[in-house]
Chains A and B, each alone.
Chain A
Amino acid sequence: MSSPDEIFDPELKLYESRKSVFPKAVNGKFRRLKWVIMAITLAIYYVTPWIRWDRGPYAPDQAVLVDLANRRFYMFGIEIWPHEFYYVAGMLVMAGIGLFLVTSAVGRAWCGYSCPQTVWTDLFQHVERAIDGDRNAQFKLQDAPWGPKKIGKRLAKWSVWLFIAFWTGGAWIMYFADAPTLVVDFWTGQAPFVAYATVGVLTLTTFIFGGFMREQVCIYMCPWPRIQTAMMDEKSLTVTYKDWRGEPRGSVKKAEAQPGSFGDCIDCNQCVAVCPTGIDIREGPQIGCITCALCIDACDSVMEKVNRPRGLIDYATLEDAELEKAGKAHNPVLKTLFRPRTILYFSIWGAIGLAMLFAVGNRTRIDISANHDRNPVYVQLADGHVRNSYTINLRNMENRPRDMIIGMTELKGAVMWSNAGSREGAGQTLVTKVPADSVARLRLYVAAPGDGPVREDFALTVTAADDPEANDIDEVFFERPETGE
């Protein structure tokens, strides 16, 4: 057993405190790309719920809406019902394969540019720099004793963080209800408890994860890095420090003094200073690297200053690295991006997408599902007929009420009526009104003469009264008692 002293003994290193990471501001093409992606992803996230879409009087006019209460998922012109959940499953599969595709081509680009953890951390870091100053000022402020200035700055920073975090949590719930209504309800205390709870939890997690845990989430909590590594191979582009070109390191002065004995790296540590996860890329590929390429920007600007060729840190594949070491030319980037593996992923991804589009375009918005009631299986009627009953669900997936005609395929001498009608008014078909966007359930009785096969297959059909093209069919059976006393 370890004594408490041992546990806290820094020498033993059972546990390690987080080392502060204050990445330095950097400029360059990857930084600009990051800005653009950040702007786009944040805009999509915050704005989407506010896009309006006419859904008729039966659903909120919201383009993207996850309506949990009524179990509907709306996405622009597409409306997904629970029994169509395979579309959502299909989208998840596409997202998975999309990730394979991106990772096999350009490594952990998801991590570096579009992961919410990355985007919000980045945002929080910009706030931090705006208030506390750049890297060195931040270190200084951290070490400074608590005084009015430090307290003021901390309060300012945390308030802005909290505000962003709250805004983030608030935007999330907008996806689950009509956004304008929800905003009013939220501020007047009318929103459901779960709305407040969700905003609370998301505010707290955004604040903590984006403000304080940052790279710890990527390194210790996130499963992606482990999975993504498995999707990469020697042809995947990844951020690489070209040690064969950079080592041994030496300052510009040293290199001038002893020409020929130093590599291109001047050991300025800029690549380490800008790294949002606080790692040293010169130690080689590692789990902490999210492939954000900010170190490339940093090093490129250094190389420019000292008049050495750019690309000491660069996007390169393992294969490129070997080729370059051997003094040969790189594979062309296009050949790296379009190779059997990526093409295969892309084809699968595209095929699923096309299949889903096709399926969505061709689905009918009317549906019957019939279940033969088993308890009892049949009922003997006084006049010698036999009655079977069926539980019918009629789905009207359009946003207007519709008359639906229930019919049946040949079942000799049979008539049908529903739980709201009676046998006197029975006939070969039955018309039922189904409200907009809903499922109507009814019990359907079918009576047929008692002399016939013990089990007879037939089908129940439904057709929209206003459109014979909209129809559906479900196969059922009719059961009779075994004859004899």
Chain B
Amino acid sequence: MSEKKRVDQPTGTETVGHEWDGIEELDTPMPRWWLWTLYATIIWAIGYVILYPAIPMLNSASEGLLGWTSRGEYAQAVSARETELEPIRQALVSTDIRKLHGSPELMQQAVEGGRSAFKVHCVQCHGSGAAGSKGYPNLNDDDWLWGGDLEAIEYTLIHGIRNPDHDQTRFSQMPAFGRDGILQPGEIQDLVSHVRVLAGREKQSAAATRGAVLFEANCAICHGPDGTGDRTQGAPNLTDAISLYGLDRASLTDTITNSRYGVMPRWGQRLDSATIRMLAAYVHSLGGGEKLPALEKTAATPVESDGDEQS
């Protein structure tokens, strides 16, 4: 212990008494204010611990004199945001949806709100980019089974498709031609050929010609004599390039044999009308929305004038 400390001659300061390879460290005193600063931070910390929840107890932390909780703060933020959004929701509900695009700003707000709601309620079936998958429609394209203007989309959202126990739901049913014995397997293959000719996937053949006759008798009532479909009953257009269940032979055979019965929930039951409107606007905005008259050339919607996006 207390070996005599050396005093460094040039500075007159004591050394700490250790030496490493001939180098000694000066024992320069800390400034006193530094000590007071340290005490002040300790006092600050104690105050903090008393005011805010901090000390771990058996089941939870101490409550803190201010009664602050992170959940409370969150709830406050959420309700503040909701109050802020209320006028927009009001305006949305009170505007005729067919005239929504007349107010680009409201439309924009609806689209943004719908973007969030979509992430919560719709991505499970339609995918996060709304691109769908086999049996789940791609909402980005321009092919609509039940109509693709704002009003039709909203109706679909509210009432759903083939929703049981609901009389306003979009409803139609294709017969299971094979399973119910309406058509024989050979006939079904002929029909498949014809449908593929309609869709431009196959060249005309004898089978397809036979299929055309069958189509006339069994399918034309819904899909139309030329196969262009009928939106009032959600009968798909068979002549375009898009198909919900696939246009390969196997898929078509399956469709005609067993029929399809796609179901979508009716969201009118679960979401308020403002949210549904937002969803409709968002889905409409994805690129395939119909009957939106072109606005003027001020095409761009100015966003907050920042420039931090990646170039």
Check B131 for interface membership: any CB of A closer than 8 A: yes
Nearest-neighbour CB distance to chain B for A236, whole angstroms, equals 21
Inter-chain contact A445/B287, CB cutoff 8 Å: yes
Check A304 for interface membership: any CB of B closer than 8 A: no
- Dominant SS among interface residues on chain B: loop
**Contact for A485 among B30, B34, B246, CB less than 8 A:** B246
Interface string of A348-380 (1 = CB under 8 A from B): 000000000000000000010101011110011
Task: Assess A422 versus B294: contact at CB under 8 Å? Given A15-B31, A438-B305, A442-B300.
Answer: yes
Note all chain B residues with C-beta closer than 8 A to A445: 287
Inter-chain contact B32/A83, CB cutoff 8 Å: no
Inter-chain contact B302/A438, CB cutoff 8 Å: yes
Give Cα distance in the complex from A474 to B310, angstroms: 12
Kindly name the residue among B32, B140, B240 whose own CB sees the greatest number of chain A CB atoms within 10 A. Answer: B140
Task: Assess A418 versus B299: contact at CB under 8 Å? Given A18-B32, A83-B311, A376-B131.
Answer: yes
Beta-carbon contacts under 8 Å, A418-449 to B: 418-425, 430-435, 437-443, 445
Band of interface residues on A: 35 or more
Note all chain A residues with C-beta closer than 8 A to B306: 70-71, 82, 439
Inter-chain contact B241/A384, CB cutoff 8 Å: yes
Nearest-neighbour CB distance to chain B for A47, whole angstroms, equals 29
Check B25 for interface membership: any CB of A closer than 8 A: no
Note all chain A residues with C-beta closer than 8 A to B33: 18, 213, 216
Nearest-neighbour CB distance to chain B for A374, whole angstroms, equals 8
Q: In this complex, what residue of A is CB-closest to B243?
A: A380
Nearest-neighbour CB distance to chain B for A72, whole angstroms, equals 9
Task: Assess A379 versus B300: contact at CB under 8 Å? Given A420-B104, A485-B247.
Answer: no
Give Cα distance in the complex from A283 to B10, angstroms: 8
Chain B count of residues within 8 A CB distance of the other chain: 51
Interface string of B1-22 (1 = CB under 8 A from A): 0000000001100100000000
Note all chain A residues with C-beta closer than 8 A to B142: 381-382, 423
Inter-chain contact B301/A441, CB cutoff 8 Å: yes
B residues contacting A by CB (< 8 A) are: 10-11, 14, 27, 29-35, 104, 127-131, 138, 140-143, 200-201, 237, 240-242, 246-248, 285, 287-288, 292, 294-295, 297-303, 305-311
Give 8 closest A-B pairs by Cβ, nearest first.
A375-B129, A438-B305, A376-B131, A440-B300, A382-B240, A16-B29, A369-B311, A485-B248
7 contacts between A and B (CB under 8 A): A375-B128, A380-B141, A381-B242, A418-B299, A432-B300, A440-B302, A441-B301
13 further contact pairs, Cβ within 8 A, besides A82-B306, A376-B130, A382-B142? A16-B29, A81-B307, A283-B11, A369-B311, A374-B129, A381-B241, A381-B242, A393-B311, A419-B299, A421-B299, A433-B297, A434-B302, A441-B302
